[in-house]
Amino acid sequence: MYFYADNNNISGVIPESLGNLSNLRELSISRNNLQGDIPPSVGNCKILESLNLAGNNLQGNIPPSLENCKTLNVGLVLEFLQGQIPKSLVNCKNLKLLDLENNQLKDTFPCGLSALSQLQVLILKSNKFSGRIACPREDSIWPLLQILNLASNCFSGEITSQFIPIRRSTMAGTKEMQLEPDELKYSECSLLNLSHNSLSGNIPSSLGNLSQLESLDLSCNALGGNIPRELVKLNFLEYLNLSFNKLGGPIPTSTQLQSFDASSYKGNPGLYGPSLTPRQALGSIHPSMPSTSLDESQWGSNSQVEWMLRGAEVGLPVGLTIFIVPLLYFKRWRRWYCKHLDRLTMKILRRKDQARGTRTTRRSER
């Protein structure tokens, strides 16, 4: 049984009787006006494969009873919920998509879900997650992960390589045989967004191993050091944002990295390279130095022109007022002005007549 009712004006609460739909495989009622909690009875839908309740006004916690939905594999999309991610979700071993964007979840990085080996999409954007993006005693997690979006949270610390190099192992009897570094297979991650957190340290060079990466956003953190040269290997990269960090040094030379404009690198006072404008590059190389004489002279020139224009704006109406008002309201001044204007006009006309007569005389002599 499949039930889709997205983009309607359905209001009220999700009925407890939902759990009676034992044959329900997919339920999608996103972008409606539903309120209240998610009923625990949803765990009775034992063959449920996909659940999408985003875009409503739901509240409360994620019901732990979802652990009973062991067939949940297509996706779980929830919104506007509170609390923590229930560790019981690890029982949904076939889960491929977990989208918990725009909730009020207050938790740490969900290491309890590291056993979800089929997980391909993890979106925790716009929540209140904190702590490090790392799992103790784990070498790598989520080998099939393609999209990881942890933006707009409170994560801190350094970016680890746990979710980047995926160490495969083969079994020889009961012993695990580890592969050599050059035999490692890497995740096919295509989108990595860790922006708007409080991450520090350097950008790990192992990011360059994500050969299928198409979008990388590390903006609005406190990352320092240089941009690793290994990023030049990201040949499929279509979107890059490293802005507003504490990066320095040159932008690595490559066709791919230099194809992005200055907006991808702005807000890093020590960063410079061809992608930045000359003024930005100059300021990035010597961020603590005062303005050069060229900048000062340019500023002085611009400032002088600006003050001249402002003076003209003010002076013109004031001058016209001082000159015209007396002529309109004082008869004596008006007579004096007309008298001298007539004299000046006669002098100009006489000079023109004399000049015209001189030219005529010269022509006749010739």
Q: Which residues contact 37 (CB under 8 A, 6 or more apart)?
A: 13, 14, 58, 59, 60, 61, 63
What SS3 class is residue 57?
Answer: strand
Residue 214's pLDDT is 94
Radius of gyration over alpha carbons of the chain, in Å? Answer: 36
Residue 273's pLDDT is 85
Residue 238's pLDDT is 94
Cα distance between residue 209 and residue 65, in whole Å: 39
Cα distance between residue 86 and residue 105, in whole Å: 11
Q: Which residues contact 58 (CB under 8 A, 6 or more apart)?
A: 14, 34, 35, 36, 37, 38, 78, 79, 80, 81
Residue 346's pLDDT is 64
Contact between 232 and 260 (Cβ < 8 Å)? no
Residue 310's pLDDT is 60
C-beta neighbour count of 339 within 10 angstroms: 10
Contact between 178 and 169 (Cβ < 8 Å)? yes
pTM over 0.75: no
Can you read off the two tokens belonging to residue 151?
């933006």
pLDDT values of the chain reduced to their tens digit, one per residue, 366 residues: 888 999 999 999 999 998 888 899 999 999 999 999 999 898 888 888 898 988 888 888 888 888 777 777 767 777 778 889 988 888 888 899 999 999 889 999 999 888 898 999 999 999 999 999 988 877 778 888 999 999 999 999 999 877 664 444 333 333 333 433 333 445 678 999 999 999 999 999 989 989 899 999 999 999 999 999 999 999 999 999 999 999 999 999 877 888 899 999 999 989 988 878 554 444 444 444 344 444 444 444 454 555 555 665 656 666 656 656 565 555 565 566 566 666 666 666 666 556 555 555 555 555
Residue 192's pLDDT is 94
Q: Which domains does the chain have, with CATH numbers?
A: 2-167+181-223 (3.80.10.10), 306-358 (no CATH)
Residue 172's pLDDT is 33
Can you read off the two tokens belonging to residue 324?
């015209």
Cα distance between residue 57 and residue 227, in whole Å: 42
CA 270 to chain centre: 20
Residue 237's pLDDT is 94
Residue 297's pLDDT is 42
Taking alpha carbons only, the member of 279, 301, 307 closest to residue 291 is 279
Residue 220's pLDDT is 97
Give me the DSSP letters along 165-208: EE--EEEETTEEEEPPGGG-EE----EEE--SSEEESBPPGGGG
